[in-house]
Structure formats: structure tokens, C-alpha cells
Homo-oligomer: A and B are copies of this chain.
């Protein structure tokens, strides 16, 4: 998806989960990127599935309302969990995240895990430390964002930014 202008664009990356969902918002304009905000959505895990979904939906809806992204990029779920029901339950969570984006009128994109790694460090089998290091470097942070879910979410946003604006240094 080529872009004609260098108008700044705000990307919300989400690393979806039923427990700790990381999110990261970046602005990119031309070849520069900037961290806007990042954190986690942390539903109370002692509650029924539908109440956790309520927490997750509300959390993502609030982040979208407050940061007003131009696009939401939600990582694709694996199909390789030992227990297939885990993937289905994660699908429930990812579904309410997609819904929150659609309700706000923000387009949703999907990136696979290996795609994100490859975009950031050149290999779909990159280690977590390599991803952390690249996120830290690109966003000019003093250390890798914690917890890892936040770093992963920023990696998703940066990988998407690179698809259109080539923000990575290679």
C-alpha cells in the first residue's frame, strides 16, 4: 500500500490475549517514528469469559478514543496451540478488539507473528531480545518497554509502519 504523502499517521499495534494484551501507539511521518503511548489492557482473570471480554472491549475502545489512531493493527493468532480451545478463546478476545476498532470507524489490519519479526530484524525466527532491541532503537528509548507484551505491540505497529513508510534502516 504505497502512500503519496509524508503526512503523519498514527498506528495502534495490539498483541491480543485473554490475559495481558499489550498495545502501542506510534506516529510515523516519512521515515521517522515516535512513541505516543503504550501499555497493557489487563482484564480481571478471575471473572467469567464474557466479563473479561467486556473489560477488553472497554479497554481497547478507550485507547482508540483517547489516541485516535488512523489504523489498528492486530497480530494474527497462532493455530499451533497445544490445546485448540486456547486459540478459540483467544479468538473471542481478538474479536472484541476488532469490533471496538470497527465501532470507532478505524480500519483493522492483521499481521502474522513471523511477518512482524521478519519486518523488524530480517528473520521470522528472530529472538525476543532482538525484537526488543530494535523497538528500543527505533523509538529512541532508553530501555526495552516492559512487560514484553508492550514491546511486542510496538513491534507490530513498527512492522506495519515499515510496510508503507520504510521506517527501518535497511
Contact = CB atoms under 8 A, between A and B. Distances in A.
Given A92-B95, A95-B93, A98-B92, A108 B48 contact: yes
A77 B87 CA distance: 11
Interface stretch (A20-28, A51-59, A136-144): A51-59
Contacts of A125: none
Q: How large is the interface on A (under 10, 10 to 19, 20 to 34, 35 or more residues)?
A: 20 to 34
Interface string A42-79: 00000011110110010000000000000000000101
A91 B93 CA distance: 8
Interface in A92-131: 92-96, 98-99, 101-103, 108
A29 to B, nearest CB: 26
A165 to B, nearest CB: 23
Contacts of A90: 88, 91
A54 B101 CA distance: 10
B77 A108 contact: no
Contacts of A48: 108
A89 interface: yes
Most buried by B among A50, A51, A92, A98: A50
Contact of A96 (B88, B89, B99, B108): B99
A85 interface: yes
Contact of A95 (B95, B101, B102, B108): B95
Interface of A: 48-51, 53-54, 57, 77, 79, 84-85, 87-96, 98-99, 101-103, 108
